[in-house]
Amino acid sequence: MLTNVRNVRIEWCDCDPAGIIFYPRYFEMFDTSATVLIEHALGMNKIEYLKVYDFAGHPLVEARARFHMPTRYGDEVAIETKLTECGRSSFKIEHRLTKSGTLAVEGFETRVWVARSAGDPQRIKSQPIPDAVRARFAGSGNGA
Amino acid sequence: MLTNVRNVRIEWCDCDPAGIIFYPRYFEMFDTSATVLIEHALGMNKIEYLKVYDFAGHPLVEARARFHMPTRYGDEVAIETKLTECGRSSFKIEHRLTKSGTLAVEGFETRVWVARSAGDPQRIKSQPIPDAVRARFAGSGNGA
Amino acid sequence: MLTNVRNVRIEWCDCDPAGIIFYPRYFEMFDTSATVLIEHALGMNKIEYLKVYDFAGHPLVEARARFHMPTRYGDEVAIETKLTECGRSSFKIEHRLTKSGTLAVEGFETRVWVARSAGDPQRIKSQPIPDAVRARFAGSGNGA
Amino acid sequence: MLTNVRNVRIEWCDCDPAGIIFYPRYFEMFDTSATVLIEHALGMNKIEYLKVYDFAGHPLVEARARFHMPTRYGDEVAIETKLTECGRSSFKIEHRLTKSGTLAVEGFETRVWVARSAGDPQRIKSQPIPDAVRARFAGSGNGA
């Protein structure tokens, strides 16, 4: 199973007047973690893999998070990211954000592989994930 | 049922190199909508109601969104926000973001009413929602 | 002189643990104000005018701000934006952000009109501002 | 002279539909770099030093940046940060952001040492920088 771990410091600019992280920042961190995971799997960065596989991206159709414990400015956290499922045109990614080993946030994403519509480049539609990508998604990442 | 509608323009700074909104921005918009809903219900702004009801906030224990259609720079969208459930110490809020009447994103939040722990102000714990708040939550907002 | 005024509320998510706005948010607001000013001048939105005038944007070569008074969550502010100078390939924009009529922040931007380099689309280079644009920049905006 | 270097990757979420970084993100990065510099100088994190020196922060009175070259998604950049001047109640910090050794952005900040007004905690006013802090600011950081 494709896995990745990133260490992140919660910065002053991530926190709100209550002194805790403003929760949409977690989704930003998860998005970066998901991209890093896919970059490692495909062996190139996002700009490159969008070109090489000639597709328009892997936008989310669903995002979900459970918040177990707040994090604060200065906290050093670890984000473990896993590709948990790969279907025909969609895939699932899970994130576990821990602080000193204790689970603080869980994140769940469902993403689709999309291409621009031939008739209307403003429209995007799902398409099958290429076999070469699927094979790499079945491999293992930097943290496995 | 408490309801609120906000009209928001998707700005250049909300969008990513794919030309569509970067999805964590939706959660920022939903958070602002939730705050506005509660402010209208309680008749004061967030800084004031945190003081008046002497609590530490209403952080999320769960956030979820389903993305049906991307939005882009310049899109004018409407966000309809409803308080759908009010329990003893938690409440649920739902958001429907539409573009020209078509549903683009649904958001779901579960929030808890928390106070700072007497022994350790860094720790927060859930507590019963005051009756006065509960009564106002059962009322109706600016869009109802 | 091209002028525009936007009313903005400082939101919870704009503020930091000190309870005041996190200052880079001002630059986000100023960027939106600058875009709105140019959109009004040219009579179309940014996506459209990038296409119509076939250029790559108007990035900043210099940004500056003076902070006279902090703003806080819930503050209603007004941002007055003016195009103050238009040269051959660059132009200057100034912003005055006021709270209840008192000046809180001044912003100064120098932007260049750029096109993608023919040989390398990753590179951008300044080019003369089209006469049609220059004429519209010499006109007046929605607040004049 | 107090100096610090941070290596930062420009992420997808930092970039706009033009495919280059949205410039207010630089000010976020510079703010984090300034905080890290001060934390290293004082030997504690920001939450702690606000308590130990009993002050309300070091907000900016002026921020300025010159943009020499755009950066893009995936770029690895280095931010070198220096405390260049320390006055009675204000100090200056400069940032040089380079990509592969080439200068991309310069940042300049003037910050003041502020305390909450005794009569009105919503108001902040400048006050002399403590001698102990001044002595540490005259020392050297992790990159010197």
Indicate the average pLDDT of chain D.
Answer: 93
Interface of C with D (CB under 8 A): 17-18, 20, 22-25, 27-28, 31, 47, 56-57, 59-68, 70, 72, 122, 124
Res B141 pLDDT > 70: no
Indicate the average pLDDT of chain B.
Answer: 93
A67 token code pair? 């918040």
Q: How many CB atoms lie within 10 A of CB B132?
A: 11
- With contacts defined as CB-CB under 8 Å, which chain B residues touch D73? 17
Region D30-38: mean pLDDT is: 97
- With contacts defined as CB-CB under 8 Å, which chain A residues touch D73? 45-47
| pLDDT number for residue D133 | 96
Query: In 3-state terms, what secondary structure has residue C135?
Result: helix
| pLDDT number for residue D141 | 44
pLDDT digits (tens, 9 = 90+) for B33-83: 999 999 999 999 998 999 999 999 999 999 999 999 999 999 999 999 999
Is the Cα torsion angle C97, C99, C102, C105 positive or negative in sign? Answer: negative
Region D47-59: mean pLDDT is: 93
Cβ separation of B74 and C45 shorter than 8 Å? yes
Res B142 pLDDT > 50: no
Q: What is the phi/psi pair of residue C118, to 5°? A: -60, -45
Q: Are strands A90-99 and A102-112 parallel, antiparallel or unpaired?
A: antiparallel
| pLDDT number for residue B139 | 79
Name the DSSP class of C119.
S
Region C135-141: mean pLDDT is: 78
* Reported ipTM: 0.93
Angstroms from A98 CA to nearest CA on chain B: 16
Helices (H), B64-139: 131-137
Res C142 pLDDT > 70: no
Angle, alpha carbons D19-A16-B112 (nearest 5°): 115
Region D77-97: mean pLDDT is: 97
Helices (H), B43-122: 46-52
- Higher local confidence (pLDDT), A122 or D73: D73
Identify the segments of chain A with pLDDT beneath 70.
140-144
% of chain C residues with pLDDT over 70: 97
Interface of A with B (CB under 8 A): 17-18, 20, 22-25, 27-28, 31, 47, 56-57, 59-68, 70, 72, 122, 124
- With contacts defined as CB-CB under 8 Å, which chain B residues touch A66? 61-62
Region D30-55: mean pLDDT is: 95
pLDDT digits (tens, 9 = 90+) for C22-72: 999 999 999 999 999 999 999 999 989 999 999 999 999 999 999 999 999
- With contacts defined as CB-CB under 8 Å, which chain A residues touch D47? 72-74
d(CA B120, CA A50): 49
Going by pLDDT thresholds of 50, 70 and 90, the confidence category of residue D140 is: low
| pLDDT number for residue B121 | 77
| pLDDT number for residue A142 | 46
| pLDDT number for residue D50 | 93
Angstroms from D57 CA to nearest CA on chain C: 8
Res B140 pLDDT > 80: no
What pairs with residue C5 in β-bridges? C80
| pLDDT number for residue A143 | 40
Q: Are strands A3-9 and A76-86 parallel, antiparallel or unpaired?
A: antiparallel
What stretch of H or E contains B42? helix B24-42
d(CA B19, CA B14): 10
Rounded to whole angstroms, what are the CA distances from C62 to B21, C65, D137? 26, 10, 28
Cβ separation of B59 and A67 shorter than 8 Å? yes
- Positions of E strands within chain A: 3-9, 60-67, 76-86, 90-99, 102-112, 114-116, 124-126
Cβ separation of D56 and C18 shorter than 8 Å? yes
Residues with Cβ < 8 Å from A10, sequence gap 6 or more? A21, A71, A72, A73, A74, A75, A76, A77
Cβ–Cβ under 8 Å, residues D103 and D71:
no
Indicate the average pLDDT of chain C.
Answer: 93
C88 token code pair? 């051959």
- With contacts defined as CB-CB under 8 Å, which chain C residues touch B12? 31-32, 35, 46
Res C143 pLDDT > 50: no
